[in-house]
Structure 1
C-alpha cells in the first residue's frame, strides 16, 4: 500500500489542550534523552557548530563579517532537518529498541520513500530564499549607509539599525512559517509511514489548535538557539540536541492515532 493511502487509512488526531506544563515536561524528557545517549546528541550538535565556525571564519577571511548576522538568523530554518537523527534516538529509547549509529543515521533517509529528503529540500530552499531576501535588504540599506559589509560598525548606524529591524521582522515571519510546517511533520515522518504533505497538514493543525503554547515554544527555541550561538556556536553542542529530543516528546504528546 502506498504511503499516501496509508495516511488516509490511519489519519492522526491532534491534541488541542497543550499547556506550558507540557513544554516543561518535553524539556525534561529531552534532557533525559540527551543524558542517556550523549554521543548522538553531541555528534549532531557538532555538525551545526562546525558549519557555524566554517561560515564565521570564511566570512571573516573575505571581509564580509556582517553577513554572519543573516546567516545566523537563517540557521534555525535548517535545525529541524539536522534534528531528524535525534528524533530517531528518542523514538528508539522510548520503544526500548536497540541503539546503533547505522539506525540513527539511517533515519535521515526516511523509511525508503524519500519523504524526509523531500522535507530537507524544502528547508534548504527556504534557507536559500531567506538569503536572497537578506541580500536585497542589505543592498537597500547598505546603499543608504555607504558602509560595506566588511564592518560590524554598520549595525551602529541609523541605516544599520533600520536594516536589523526590517530584517528581523521579515526573518521572523519566514522562520515562523517554516516552524509551523516542520515542528510536528519531521518527527511524524520519522515515526510513521505518511507522506510529507499529510505530515505538514498535521503540523499546521497542531499549531493552529494550540496557538499560544506553540508560539511560546517557537519563541523559546529562537531565543535559546540565539544565546547558544554567541560563544562561537559552542552552546549548540548541548542546546540543539536537548531541543531536538524535546520536540520529539512534544510531538508524541500532540499527535495520536485516530480513535485513540
Structure 2
C-alpha cells in the first residue's frame, strides 16, 4: 500500500536548544582590588542611598537577635550571627542596581531602585531566595542536632551561661569543632552558588539554575581568588557586627557595590544576537 502523505519529512526533534551558559573569565587579585576601588567610589557617589541599605540590614540584625533573646532561643544566636553574612548578597540587590545604573551613566532615584527590587519577586531572584533559605535551614538544623548530641546535659539559662559552656568546656570545644566543619562546608556551598548568581539574575534574563551553575564555574575556575574574596566578605561582615551591627551601615554597601563590579569582571557580557 502506498502512502498518501506528501511533502518533506518534518524533523524528528523540534525541541529548541537551551541557551548557552555565559562565558566565565579568569579573575585575579587585581580584579578584586579594582572592584573594591570601584565599589568604594559607588558608595561615595551615593552615600545616603547606599547607607540606607546597610542601615536596614543592621536594624534587621539587631531586631533578630533581640527576638531570639526574648524568646529564650539562646542557642540560635551563634548560628544566626555566623549565617548573617551569608544572606548579604540577596540583601544587596538594590546596591547592584545602583552600580549597574551608575556604570551605564543612567540617572535614578529612590523609586527607581525600590521598583526594581520589588519586581524581582516576579523573576528568578525569588528562587534564589528559596535556595538561600533552604541552606540556612539545613545550617540551623544541623547546629541544633550537634548541640543536642554533644551538649545534651547542659542547660542555658542566659547568654553568658551558653557562651561559657561552648567556649570553656571540653564538650563545648567538641561542639565548636564539629559545627565549624559543617558550617564551613555549607558556607562554601552557599557562597559558590550565589557569589555572581545574584547580580547576574538582576542583570540578565536567565533561569536561576543556569545562574547558579555559572556562579559555581566562576569559583571552580578561580578557586584561590574567589575564596580570598569569600574570606574578605566574612571577616569584614563579622567585624562589622561587633559595634552593635552598626558597622554594616558602611561595609554592606561597599561590599555590595564591589560584588557587582567583580561579577562584571568574572562573567563575560551578553553577546548581541546576530
Offset at 1:62? 3.8
Asked if 1:131 is matched to 2:140, the reply is yes
- The question of whether the paired residues in 2 share the 8 Å contact of 1:110 and 1:189 is answered with no
Using the alignment, how far apart are the partners of 1:253 and 1:244 within structure 2?
15
Give the stretch that moved more between structures: 204-213 or 162-171.
162-171
Offset at 1:74? 1.1
Asked if 1:140 is matched to 2:152, the reply is no
Deviations 1:101-139 (A, max 9, x none): 222123334567520111112212222221111111221
Asked if 1:39 is matched to 2:48, the reply is yes
Give the stretch that moved more between structures: 183-192 or 100-109.
100-109
Give the stretch that moved more between structures: 51-60 or 111-120.
111-120
- The question of whether the paired residues in 2 share the 8 Å contact of 1:7 and 1:193 is answered with no
Alignment of 1:69-84 (within 5 A): 69-84=78-93
Alignment of 1:237-248 (within 5 A): 237-248=249-260
Change (3 A) 1:44 1:159: same
Offset at 1:29? 0.8
Question: What SS does the aligned partner of 2:69 have?
Answer: helix
Which residue does the alignment assign to 1:8?
Answer: 19
Question: What SS does the aligned partner of 1:252 have?
Answer: helix
Which residue does the alignment assign to 1:171?
Answer: 183
Which residue does the alignment assign to 1:212?
Answer: 224
- The question of whether the paired residues in 1 share the 8 Å contact of 2:85 and 2:238 is answered with no
What's the TM-score, normalizing by structure 1?
A: 0.90
Asked if 1:183 is matched to 2:192, the reply is no
Q: CA RMSD in A?
A: 2.1
Which residue does the alignment assign to 2:67?
Answer: 58
Q: Show structure 2 runs of 5+ residues with no match.
A: 1-15
Using the alignment, how far apart are the partners of 2:118 and 2:187 within structure 1?
24
Which residue does the alignment assign to 2:10?
Answer: none
Deviations 1:143-187 (A, max 9, x none): 15x232632211221111221221122111101101110111111
What's the TM-score, normalizing by structure 2?
A: 0.85
1:154 corresponds, among 140, 146, 165, to 165
Change (3 A) 1:175 1:99: same
Asked if 1:122 is matched to 2:131, the reply is yes
Change (3 A) 1:129 1:81: same
Offset at 1:47? 2.0
Offset at 1:65? 3.4
Using the alignment, how far apart are the partners of 1:7 and 1:82 within structure 2?
30
Q: Which has the larger radius of gyration?
A: 2
- The question of whether the paired residues in 2 share the 8 Å contact of 1:34 and 1:241 is answered with yes
- The question of whether the paired residues in 2 share the 8 Å contact of 1:49 and 1:234 is answered with yes
- The question of whether the paired residues in 2 share the 8 Å contact of 1:52 and 1:233 is answered with yes
- The question of whether the paired residues in 1 share the 8 Å contact of 2:74 and 2:156 is answered with no
Using the alignment, how far apart are the partners of 2:17 and 2:255 within structure 1?
30
Q: Show structure 1 runs of 5+ residues with no match.
A: none
Change (3 A) 1:65 1:45: same
Which residue does the alignment assign to 2:11?
Answer: none
Offset at 1:84? 0.9
Offset at 1:64? 3.9
